[in-house]
Every structure is written in structure tokens, then in C-alpha cells.
Amino acid sequence: MYGHCYGCKICNGRACGSTIPGPGAKGVGDVAIRNYDMWKQVRLNLNVVYEAGPVSTEVNIFGKDMAAPIFAGPVGAVQLHYGDKFTEFEYNDLLIKSCIEAGIIGFTGDGTDEQVLRAAAGSIAAAGGQGIPTIKPWHLGTVGAKMALVKGAGAFAVAMDVDAAGLPFLKGKNPPAGPKSQEELIEIAEMADRPFIVKGIMTPRAAIKAVKAGAAAIVVSNHGGRVLDQCPSTAEVLLEIAEAIKGSPCLVFVDGGIRDGVDIFKAIAMGADGVLMARPFVNAIYQQGYEGVLSLVRRLKSELEDTMLMCGAKTIAEISKDMVRIPKLWQHYDAEGN
Ligand SMILES: Cc1cc2nc3c(=O)[nH]c(=O)nc-3n(C[C@H](O)[C@H](O)[C@H](O)COP(=O)(O)O)c2cc1C
């Protein structure tokens, strides 16, 4: 156990429940559990009647060659949530560098303590800009200052977790932090002046606004259940969101309860271009440090390869919706909520 985390073998939100500070979820704590459970409701169509050949999980995202479409998700304020084992800088440094060696990319987090983003920017600068800082939805003036910090670090892309509007510590801020309009997102994307990623999209309507604001990618995410109790899992809304912005240049990433290569395959089949995983990378680092990340990515990649082989996809681009069975009960909504 580290801090408030039990370091469970299967990180499914059950043991940590609603523990915040700690890795838990808000309210009754069932959104993190639902995130995990709903990927398991999607089943795979086993199909090995095809001409065999090498299977590759490699992709190119934002001009970066990646070993697989996997990102380490942003986790800010690690000392608050996980205790004193690592400082903010040590955690980010281990994460960003090990992700690079593993052939993937790490996101970093933000917090009320300005040292959190400062440490993240330091780690990304030390890695030649090969990481994605995630700025909270502060007042635009504060966003401007934080944007200057991460651009100074040479970050090749920048994200904003707009859903952090639901974190208790952002409430009552002066100047006010919180939801961002399409016009404000346009301004923030212009400030970023590099691929800008909007994290925390859970409806087609919000996705369309992010696209109109010029987002290079959205992350379908409910912040691991930490910002709004009783919302659906990300698996349940992924398909309708991906369909709503199909044909736009905006990429779709997803996170929440994705724990193995099989889940990654399902997410891609349902319209994602890549996935983020947050808590599993924390566990990897707290349990085994740098080597923990390398071994986690090796496992994910090999599970993804195996699933591709068994479902008939030789490349990530070949993974398609007909390779999975999605529960019919999952009602779909369009941008008008119909
Ligand atoms: C302790 C903790 C801190 C987090 N801090 C941030 C953050 O600073 N910025 C952010 O965008 N998301 C943050 N997240 C949310 C994760 O990036 C991710 O969206 C969420 O945990 C779901 O993914 P998972 O189920 O793989 O953990 C945090 C999550 C946890 C558990």
C-alpha cells in the first residue's frame, strides 16, 4: 500500500472506493468501478480464418512513431494522493523517461500547488519536450501563464482536462476556474500553438464543440470517476462520440478502467485512435520504478498483438467495429441528445 492506494493486482476501483485524497472516485465511487466493468461487457469476435502474416501494434500519432497507441495518463499531486515515496518531479521524470524508452508517450498532471505543473514542465524539458502536460481549466489569465511555462519546456503538444471543473479544489477559485466555452477553447488552442488536446469529453455535443475549437484530439474521459458521480462509463459513450466527429481531423483517445491489451483492442474497434491509462502506470512506478513501466508496456503490447492475431487485424488501422460485440442495451445519443 502506498498512501491511500492498495496497489491491487486488478485496479478496478473497488478497494479505493471514494477515497480522495487517494486514487478513489467521487460520491459513492461507482464510476471508476463501472469504467472497469463495462469494457468487460464488450466481447471479441474470434476469427482466425484469414491469411497469416506479421502483426504490428505500431502507430504514428502527431508525427511521433509509437510502439503502440498507448499513453500514460496524467496524474497530478502524487504526494497528496500516494504519500511521500516520490516527489512530483521524481514521479514525472521516471514516467516520461520510461515511456520514451518503451516507445510510448506520457501525459503529466496539474494541481493547485503550482509546483505540480512546474515539476511536470521540468521533466518534459529534460526529455526534450517528449511529453504532454495537462493544464487544469483555470481562469484564462492563469492558463496563459501555465501555457508559457509548458511551451518553454518545449512540450510538443498540450492538453487541458476540462472535466476538472468538477474537482472540489477548483470550486470557489478567484479568479474563477471551471467550464470552458467553445470560444474560450479557441483562445486556449491558439495560446497552445501546437496540437491541443481536450480531455474530459463525455457527450457528442461537447466533442463537436472541441472539434470546432480546433482540438487536435479529444480524450473521452470522466476523470476516472473523480469529477462527477453517477455518470456512464467511457466504454458506454465512446462509440457515439467517435461517430459524431468521424471525418474530422480530430483524433479520439479514451481512458477509464482500461487495464489490458484486450481492453485497448476493444477501444480501438469502437472508434478510438489511442488510449490513456493512468492508475496502472502509478502502480507500475510505485511497485517497480522505471522497469515497472517497461514491463507494463511489454505486457500491454503483447496482449494487444495476441488479440489482433485472434480477431484478424494485422495492423492497428485494420481493427474494426465488426471485430467486437457491443451490448445492444447501450442506448446511443446524437449531438441533440436524441
Ligand atoms: C490520483 C489521481 C490524480 C489525477 N490527476 C490528474 C490530473 O492532474 N490531470 C488529469 O487530466 N487527470 C488526472 N487524473 C485522471 C486520470 O488522468 C484518468 O483520466 C483517470 O484516472 C482514468 O484513467 P484510469 O482508470 O486508467 O486511472 C488523475 C487520476 C488520479 C487517480
Instruction: Report the candidate in 276, 264, 248, 250 with the shortest Cα–Cα distance to residue 319.
Output: 264
Confidence bin at 134 (pLDDT 50/70/90)? very high
Confidence bin at 102 (pLDDT 50/70/90)? very high
Measured by CA distance, the residue closest to atom 11 of ligand 1 is 161
How much distance in Å is there from the Cα of 14 to the middle of ligand 1? 16
Q: Give me the amino acid identity at 264.
A: I
Pairing of strands 274-277, 324-325: unpaired
Mutating to test ligand 1, I would choose from 150, 226, 260 the residue with most ligand atoms within 8 A of its C-beta, which is 226
How much distance in Å is there from the Cα of 221 to the middle of ligand 1? 9
pLDDT at residue 328 in the model: 85
Q: What is the average pLDDT across 5-22? A: 94
Range picked from 3-7, 81-85, 253-257 for highest mean pLDDT: 253-257
Which tens digits make up the pLDDT trace of 234-273?
999 999 999 999 999 999 999 999 999 999 999 999 999 9
pLDDT at 136 over 80: yes
Instruction: Report the candidate in 269, 131, 108 with the shortest Cα–Cα distance to residue 195.
Output: 131
How much distance in Å is there from the Cα of 114 to the middle of ligand 1? 17
Q: What is the average pLDDT across 178-204? A: 97
- Report the DSSP beta bridge partners of residue 88: none
How much distance in Å is there from the Cα of 224 to the middle of ligand 1? 6
pLDDT at 1 over 80: no
Hunting for cell 515539476 — which residue is that? 119
pLDDT at 222 over 80: yes
pLDDT at 192 over 90: yes
d(CA 26, CA 242): 26
Confidence bin at 135 (pLDDT 50/70/90)? very high
| Ligand 1 pocket at CB < 6 A | 23, 35, 73-76, 81, 109-110, 134, 161, 199, 221, 223-224, 226, 255-258, 277-279
Whole-number mean pLDDT of the chain?
Answer: 96
pLDDT at 35 over 90: yes
Q: What is the average pLDDT across 87-93? A: 94
pLDDT at residue 271 in the model: 98
- Report the CATH number of the 30-325 domain: 3.20.20.70
Q: Which positions are annotated as active-site residues?
A: 223
Q: Which atom of ligand 1 lies at the shortest distance from residue 22's CA?
A: 1
Q: Strand ranges (DSSP E) for the chain? A: 43-44, 59-61, 64-66, 70-72, 105-108, 132-135, 158-161, 196-201, 217-220, 251-254, 274-277, 324-325
Q: Give me the amino acid identity at 309.
A: L
Q: What is the average pLDDT across 59-70? A: 98
Q: What is the average pLDDT across 171-184? A: 90
Report pTM. Answer: 0.97
Which tens digits make up the pLDDT trace of 275-312?
999 999 999 999 999 999 999 999 999 999 999 999 99
Mutating to test ligand 1, I would choose from 167, 258, 279 the residue with most ligand atoms within 8 A of its C-beta, which is 279
- DSSP letters spanning 73-140: PP---HHHHH-SSS-HHHHHHHHHHHHHHHT-EEEE---SSHHHHHHHHHHHHHTTT-SEEEE----H
Q: What is the average pLDDT across 85-97? A: 95
d(CA 338, CA 332): 8
Q: Give me the amino acid identity at 5.
A: C
